Structure 1
Amino acid sequence: MIDSWQHLHSKPDILGNPFVAHTYRFDGAVSAVVTTVIEYVTPAPSHKAILYLHGYTDYFFQDQLAHHFEQLGLSFFALDLQGYGRSIRPNSVPNWCESLSQYHDDIHIALTEMYKLGVTEVTLLAHSTGGLIASSYISTQQASEQDTNNKPRITGLMLNSPFLALPFSPNIIKHVSWPIWLAVSLLPYHSLRAHKISLYAQTLHQEFGGEWSYRLDWKPAHGFPLSFHWLKQVILTQRALQKHPIALPTLMCHSKTTTRHALDIEEVKLGDGVLDVDSMNLAAKNAFSQLTAVAIEGGYHDLFLSPKPIRQRYLTAIDQWLLGHNVIGSLPNTANG
């Protein structure tokens, strides 16, 4: 785990007031990199906080999510991991990694800096590949019993459609796991480039008729090239989680339906257009010993980016779980997303 980093600056964030972006530089796996901690600044911060991790080809832009947790009385922080979003730099390839464990350094920096701001308890909230990274971080900390001094205590984990298994049905995974492993091992420098915009991407951005406006250079509709080396690291991390179940209260929310093979946008909108929810559930049951799983009817892959009524059902599931685990004491009437 990294033991030193440099605070470069803290400045108003692109999301506007009251967001502040804190940027830190440290030695990465290959060269110096930066990580960005986005803070939702409030007049009366809580010692309990949420730390959000984005997914692959992604960054934090969901300002409404931060506002929701602020209404619950929780402080809110988010990470743009090294090589993603605000942390992209000319000297590194966007979204590239030597190992998913390198992102443990980003989490370590964020938690340490949050502790300096008065946070003593944190619940991690993570989407897709971010969910895999957050789970791996907790598993590593749990296995090594590393010193938690000068860091908040992690009291829970909330997962939004986590990338815990390859995006195929359980039956297909049995047949394709070995060929995929052979390909990513023999061709580590190979990558796949999308030749057209995915149907899932077309459900999101305003340019294609979706609800959301975000930077297409940081979250491109075509995605970044899919590296076989990256995929190998994902598989290794997924396998490691199956061997060491996490003993931490965990909420996993996911769509009720898989629509990744849909042929039109309207069908994709009915469920998760990226991952397979059955394989996700199967992997989660083996990876978490205190798991609560909630299926959200009609939820998109990123549940928070679903249409508002569905998004509200997702937030309600989170609120009820936080209440049941004493992270919050009550549900204010204003906590309506």
Structure 2
Amino acid sequence: MNVPIGQHWRLVKQGEDLLGDRFYARTFAFPGPKTQVHTTLIHHLDEQQSAKAILYVHGYTDYFFQTGLAEHFIALGYRFYALDLQGYGRSIRPSTPPNWCDSIEQYGQDLDIALATMKQDGVEQVVILGHSTGGLVVSTYLAQPYKLAERENHYQMPFPEVIGLMLNSPFLALPFPPVILNRIHWPIRIIVSLLPFYFIKAKKATIYAKTLHQRFGGEWDYRLDWKPAEGFNFSFHWLREIIQAQRNLAQKSLSIPTLLCHSRISTIGKDSVEETQQGDGVLDVESMKQAAEKSFQNLTQVIIDKGFHDLYLSHETARSEYLHALDEWLGQLTQAKSKSH
């Protein structure tokens, strides 16, 4: 199959997703910085008449597998879509290393494809939900100086309106407390800039991974080839691009209604699974909050007690609290939009 979807990308595969018969996946090929790359748009097959949708974007060393999250939004009357970005999950190909990117901005192509396809499906309004690095990706995308109307002109295709942004523990700052981060930010930036092709080899399962996967006693079952417990090899080039994207975002002022959800505390560096499960074992919540407050002008913050880094993967009590926060904010967003029309 080689179905053209406009001149910029091609639909190369479609059909029932690996998550089961309620999910459908479409894979698109398009030119990347060095070679052809792929992105995969997954959607739930219910609520197909709804004009509003959620678009979920995963984090680093990650892919979409959270079927319960999709079903939660379906029950609220939203369509649900999720992206496996180029180089992640369903979109990994032999020609490109997993998680590799030349710049965070390149994922804008994945988001363009997703939004244009959702519009073709009949979606008129979208709320984007980004987790961790996905939160940085979508924030960078929405902070670009050109608007969706200019993308429509570029692609000769209509886009839906993006009416809100929900951030689940977004990677808006490096994982250090603000005082330390202020001291070490420049040295880290210099090191990764001088050694862009250096990799730290992945060796053993992280404590955070052990809090999640059933293999280690966690609650969740997902593909360890796409979300390996030890992570993929860690690229200094990738970290350099993350730092640059964070710096660029810090200089922007986004007016889009935004919800920031994060754990109460950080548990980075804890020695046990039990200690790590008391909070965010990956990022520093104080630096995350400061970065969000700098960039987002219409920001609502919700603290999730004992929430994991991926709040949806937390234990039941924290997960329910997180979903309730999303529901409340979406209800307020809907009311505000109806009053403005």
**3-state secondary structure, aligned to 1:123:** strand
CA distance in structure 2 between the aligned counterparts of 1:18 and 1:266, rounded to whole angstroms: 35
1:270 corresponds, among 252, 269, 278, to 278
Q: Residue 128 of structure 1 aligns to which amino acid in structure 2?
A: S
Q: RCO higher in 1 or 2 (8 Å CA, sep ≥ 6)? A: 1
Match for residue 312 of structure 2?
A: 304
The structural deviation recorded for 1:193 is 2.0
With over 3 angstroms needed to count, the CA separation of the structure-2 counterparts of 1:212 and 1:328, relative to structure 1, is farther
Asked if structure 2 preserves the Cα contact closer than 8 Å seen for 1:50 and 1:75, the reply is: yes
1:45 touches 1:74 (CA, 8 Å); kept in 2? no
**5 Å matches for 1:1-337?**
4-42=8-46, 44-141=48-145, 146-148=150-152, 150-326=158-334
| Structure 1 portions without partners, runs of 5+ | 330-337
Segments of 4+ moved more than 3 angstroms: 141-145
- Structure 2: runs of 5+ lacking an equivalent: 1-5
For residue 9 of structure 1, report the CA deviation from its aligned partner: 2.1
SS in 2 for 1:104: helix
Superposed CA offset, 1:99-156 (max 9, x none)? 1111000000000000000001000001000000000000015579734560000000
Q: What secondary structure is seen at the aligned counterpart in 2 of 1:9?
A: strand
Q: Distance in 2 between matches of 1:221 and 1:180?
A: 25
Report how far residue 43 of structure 1 moved: 5.5
User: How far has the Cα of 1:208 moved from its partner?
Assistant: 0.3
Scaled by the length of structure 2, what TM-score is found?
A: 0.93
- Provide the rounded CA distance (Å) in 2 between the counterparts of 1:136 and 1:45: 30
- Which region of structure 1 is more displaced relative to structure 2, 258-267 or 39-48? 39-48
CA distance in 1, matches of 2:219, 2:93: 28
1:220 positional shift? 0.2
Other structure's SS at 1:17 match: strand
Q: Which amino acid aligns with 2:248?
A: A
2:126–2:160 Cα contact (<8 Å) kept: yes
How many angstroms apart in 1 are the aligned matches of 2:336 and 2:51? 12
In structure 2, relative to structure 1, the CA distance for the partners of 1:114 and 1:327 (3 Å cut) is farther
How big is each residue's C-alpha offset from its partner over 1:7-39, in whole Å with a ceiling of 9 and x where there is no partner?
Answer: 112110000021000010000111001100001
Q: Deviations over 1:143-196 (max 9, x none)?
A: 797345600000000000000000000001111111101111000000112332
CA distance in 1: counterparts of 2:166 and 2:216, whole angstroms: 30
Structure 1 counterpart of 2:220, which letter? Answer: W
TM-score (norm 1): 0.94
Deviation at 1:285, TM superposition (A): 0.3
Q: Does the CA-based 8 Å contact 1:54-1:60 persist in structure 2?
A: yes
Aligned to 2:269, the other structure's residue is in SS state coil
Give the secondary-structure state (helix, strand or coil) at the position aligned to 2:117: helix
Alpha-carbon separation, structure 1, partners of 2:336 and 2:222: 30
- Letter aligned with residue 176 of structure 1: I
Provide the identity percentage. 51
Provide the rounded CA distance (Å) in 2 between the counterparts of 1:45 and 1:299. 34
CA distance in 2, matches of 1:143, 1:106: 16
Maintained 8 Å contact 1:322/1:328: no
The residue identity in structure 2 corresponding to 1:193 is K
Q: Given residue 131 of structure 2, which amino acid in structure 1 is its aligned partner?
A: H
**Which AA in structure 2 matches 1:80?**
D
Q: Tell me the SS of whatever aligns to 1:203.
A: helix
Query: Hey, what's the Cα distance between the residues in 1 that align with 2:209 and 2:260?
Result: 23
CA distance in 2, matches of 1:140, 1:220: 32
Which position in structure 1 is the counterpart of 2:3?
none
